[in-house]
Every structure is written in C-alpha cells, then in structure tokens.
Amino acid sequence: PVNYLFPHLPIYVFCCPRRNDFLKEVKIMSRLKDPNIVRLLGVCVRDDPLCMITEYMENGDLNQFLSGHELEDKLGGSPSGRPTISYPTLVHLGAQIASGMAFLASLNFVHRDLATRNCLVGEGFTIKIADFGMSRNLYAGDYYRIQGRAVLPIRWMAWECILMGKFTMASDVWAFGVTLWEILMLCQEQPYSQLTDEAVIENAGEFFRHQGKQVYLSRPPTCPLAVYEMMLRCWAREAKDRPSFQHLHCFLAEDALNMV
C-alpha cells in the first residue's frame, strides 16, 4: 500500500473482515505504548475492508526469523553457511518479550496467545509483541478446535486454560515458558511435537491430577540448567508458584547472560 500518512515511516497495513474483532483489537492496541509492543499508527473504519496501520517490523515474525538461522559455533561461524545467531542474542530476545509482557501485566492485560509467531522482529534484533490474528492462517497447525469452543493454541496453553478456560497473567507466564523454549530451539520443531493434539489435552489432565505423570518440554540443547529450571517454574501446576514477568525479565536480562 502507498504510505500517504507517514511518508518517512515504514508501516504495515493489516485488513480484517470481522468488524467486532477488529474494533476490539484497535481498542486494546490504542492503550499499549511500550518499546516491546507493536505500535498502532492509525485505523480505517469508514469503508470495508477495515484496516489498521502499524509500524513495520522488517524481519517478520520471530518464528520464521529463527527457523532460518542456526546457532553460532564457538568460532562465530556456520558450517552450513546459513545465517547464525548467538546464544546471548537468543536470551536477549526472550528478555525483551518478558519486558513487554511485564508491561501488559502492569495493566492487568492477559494476552492469551503468546508465542514466537506473535512476536515481530525489527532492526538490531528488536522484538515487539503483537497479535492481530494474522498468524491464524499461516500457523493453522498450531491451533486446535476443542469441541464446543474456539480454535485454541493448546500447545502453548496452561493446563487450567485447556481444562477450565481460565486465562490469567499466570497462564501467560506458562505460554512465555513455551515461547522461550521455542526461541532456544530456534523454532525447529513444534512444542510437544511427539504428542498428538489429543495427547496434549490428556497431558493437561495429568497436570490437573498431579500424580507425577505429566510430560514437560525437554531441555533444549546448549540451554543452561538454570534457564531450563526457570522454564519449569513457568510450568508449575499452581499458578501462584509461577514467576512474575518482572522476575523473568530481570533473570534473563542479567543472570542468564552472565552464564554464557
């Protein structure tokens, strides 16, 4: 689209056919002003299709960005010649997401669909959290329709979300743990790739029953034990035992980088 409103600013124009969903999204986004949240620049509601204008993130979504990279070796190169990314940079990506989510938590805002597919990458590995429903078609395999309910990203959802439909800031922390796992895996596989969708739902039941039979995502290669233990805390059965986003941001921004 021609950028008449902001001639010197890269923008992204997103069109949505569902008016109610669109207006709800715009109302939410108009309140969110943070360095790690994608910025809403304008809307068009007079004619169809409805459109919103946001800042443009040149490297696309984090899932596609990371899946095109491999981890930098000790010499700082890549045996295959593919683009590389360092472990400290991966942790920095996670820290930025935690910072953005801490801002949302300060507003008592629950995201409900945090994942690498809903994070955008700009210049200099800048990360901004988004969710315009844009990823639903591109990542249809990440969503599952539970009988009588909406299509849901069950592999990122806390057990209480799947079984009871209870979404809180603590369930966003669970999703952050899965998102951090995606990042450290360079988005090379889907969470719980060894489980069918039905088995993922059954695993949520194991968390509810609390008999020690629940399955956790495995520790990513090269992931320090302390970082993995923090992920496991994100997946604690009791919501009150999960860390806050403020704590996660401090841990990743300070402690984790010192381990590398």
Q: Dig out the tokens for 240 from the structure.
A: 């009150």
Phi first, then psi: what are they for 257, rounded to 5°? -65, -30
Catalytically annotated residue among 113, 131, 142, 172: 113
State yes or no: is 255 an active-site residue.
no
Active site (catalytic) residues: 113
